[in-house]
Amino acid sequence: DVKVTQSSRYLVKRTGEKVFLECVQDMDHENMFWYRQDPGLGLRLIYFSYDVKMKEKGDIPEGYSVSREKKERFSLILESASTNQTSMYLCAGGKGLAGNYEQYFGPGTRLTVT
Partner 1 sequence: QKEVEQDPGPLSVPEGAIVSLNCTYSNSAFQYFMWYRQYSRKGPELLMYTYSSGNKEDGRFTAQVDKSSKYISLFIRDSQPSDSATYLCAMSDGYNKLIFGAGTRLAVHP
Q: Which of 9, 13, 18, 27 binds partner 1 (CB under 8 A)?
A: 9
Stretch that binds partner 1, among 14-22, 62-70, 77-85, 92-100 (CB under 8 A): 92-100
Question: From residue 114, how far is each of 1, 29, 30 by CA, in Å?
Answer: 37, 35, 35
Question: From residue 24, how far is each of 15, 32, 34, 80 by CA, in Å?
Answer: 26, 9, 12, 23
Our CB check for partner 1 shows the closer of 9 and 70 to be 9
Rounded to a whole number of angstroms, the minimum distance from the CB of residue 88 to partner 1 is 9
Residue 25, interface with partner 1 (CB under 8 A)?
no
Residue 106, interface with partner 1 (CB under 8 A)?
yes
Q: Is 28 left (phi over 0), alpha (psi -120 to 50) or beta?
A: left
